[in-house]
Amino acid sequence: MRSSVSSRTLLAAALLACCAGSAWSAELVLTNGIRVKGTIAKEDANGFDVDVGGAQMHFDRAKVYTVSDQGKVRVITPKEVAVPPPPPPPPPTATKAEPPATPAKSEPPPPAQTQTAPPSATKTVTRTRAEVEALIKKEGTSKPPWWDQSRLNYPQSLDMTWPLKPNGGWNNQVNVGQYIWDIVNPNPDRWLEGLRLVHHLMQTHANDAELLKRDLRTLGSMYHNLMEDYPRAAWFWRNAGANHEGVADCYWKMGCKEMAVELLKQLGNDDTRHGTIIKLWADMGELDTALRLAEAKAKDGRPEVAYLAAGEACRKAGQFKRALDFFQRVLAVQQNDTQTRQNDFKQTYERAKASIEAIQVYEMLDLAKVRDGTYSSDSYGYSGQVFVDVTVQRGKITDVKVPRHTERQFYGALDNTTKQILDKQSVKDIDTFSSATITSEAIVNAAAKALASGMK
């Protein structure tokens, strides 16, 4: 351990400063603008020893701008630049490292179809910019509601250094990223354990800026994709320096279209793998902007992805004839391996075909004409067919289930999309789950064909 701290350690100190949640006796403002709250244990000519979250850290005097203690502010190292506001600290992590529980088995259990935690916000809520910023800070600096009921549990075989470039082949019992992808993400009953694991790693990697940034990005993705906890997702992504469409989606989901639009305009054209920016513009009701970006993406060399996203945008807007035209344009694209990977092209092609089949039955669907019973169909998802059972009684949809699928990263789509179909009593105007759009599409398409098969 070095006697003085680097900028990486300073960042870690700021990120961990509020974890214990108790009253602090002092605050240091560092020359790089970072604020550190803690208890000063020692001050001498070399600097300050500060108790931060149960760990004592040393700060060189040359790196300390001011010290605030007992209402008094002392300037230690003058500087000319203004001090920015403190970044919100992350949700609290365990003050003591917890021993690993029983190692996870190499084969994950069957995926559960219930969401571990409810969404923290919905689009029906409208908030101002100030309200969203306050929400992000409030949630980002407090314990998640599930924290005390969860535990730190991971295979003892995991390499907790989690290097940026893992050595060897794919091994989800050694590499943390592969463990999250294979074991945590597809299994809702492991989501909380996965989050606790990455929080723990964030403390472990406090002295490595690149690893710490990767941990923060990972937590942002997990809070967004798994928990639908958009304030915390935005907090972690922003503290990792992320400025992408996922953050814009958080703003939109928290109820501030203004912030989402502002960020999307900064991002410009859609360069995402599956047309995510186009989708978000469409979700916000900006169909013209979505289609303009789709045409730009098509000219940029990804016409199949662009036209599929445009078709889904039109379907979302209820313009089914226009949607069919875009889906047909996907089928007319000739595969070019220099522009897109073969698997992606096949997936996009199959999704377009499935959407055409579903839309063709939209106009003829009439629940009053569907005989009582359970009807089944399937549609192409992310990695294969997604099977859906729809039960109808007396002209009402009473149940929607996904009995079989081969999806790996479906996140909350199974629960979210089937619930929407039940609530809306329709397969139209269903919001595809933002983190698992492809799976959501497959459920909607299969449900539409299933209902059509039951009509008198």
- For the stretch 172-182, pLDDT in tens is 999 999 999 99
Whole-angstrom distance, CA of residue 38 vs CA of residue 23: 9
Residue 384 has a pLDDT of 80
pLDDT digits (tens, 9 = 90+) for 342-359: 778 888 898 899 899 888
List the structure tokens of 16.
Answer: 């961990």
Q: Which CATH architecture has domain 268-358?
A: Alpha Horseshoe (1.25)
Whether the pLDDT of residue 142 is over 60: the answer is yes
Residue 380 has a pLDDT of 83
pLDDT digits (tens, 9 = 90+) for 355-399: 998 888 887 888 989 999 999 999 888 878 899 999 999 999 999
Whether the pLDDT of residue 405 is over 90: the answer is no
Whether the pLDDT of residue 291 is over 90: the answer is yes
In this chain, the answer to whether the domains covering 7-75 and 268-358 adopt an identical fold is: no
Residue 10 has a pLDDT of 46
| The CATH number of domain 364-453 is 3.40.50.720 | no
pLDDT digits (tens, 9 = 90+) for 89-132: 444 443 333 333 333 433 333 333 333 333 433 446 899 999 99
Whole-angstrom distance, CA of residue 13 vs CA of residue 54: 11
Average pLDDT, the chain: 81
Residue 216 or 301, more confident: 216
Whether the pLDDT of residue 335 is over 60: the answer is yes
Query: What share of the chain has pLDDT > 90, as a percent?
Result: 48
Is the whole-model pTM more than 0.75? no
Residue 433 has a pLDDT of 66
SS3 of residue 371 by DSSP = coil
List the structure tokens of 262.
Answer: 């502002």
Whether the pLDDT of residue 147 is over 80: the answer is yes
Whether the pLDDT of residue 214 is over 90: the answer is yes
pLDDT digits (tens, 9 = 90+) for 8-23: 444 444 444 433 333 3
Residue 226 or 432, more confident: 226
SS3 of residue 405 by DSSP = strand
Residue 116 has a pLDDT of 38
Whole-angstrom distance, CA of residue 436 vs CA of residue 279: 12
Half-sphere exposure of residue 430, counting CA atoms within 13 Å on the CB side? Answer: 31
Q: Which residues contact 307 (CB under 8 A, 6 or more apart)?
A: 294, 298, 326, 327, 329, 330, 333, 352
- Looking at 3.40.50.720, 3.10.350.10, 3.50.50.60, 2.30.30.100, the CATH number of the domain 7-75 comes to 2.30.30.100
Residue 413 or 261, more confident: 261
The fold of the 129-266 domain, in CATH, is 1.25.40
Q: Where are the domains of the chain?
A: 7-75, 129-266, 268-358, 364-453
Mean pLDDT check: name the lowest of 255-264, 340-349, 424-433.
Answer: 340-349
Whether the pLDDT of residue 215 is over 90: the answer is yes
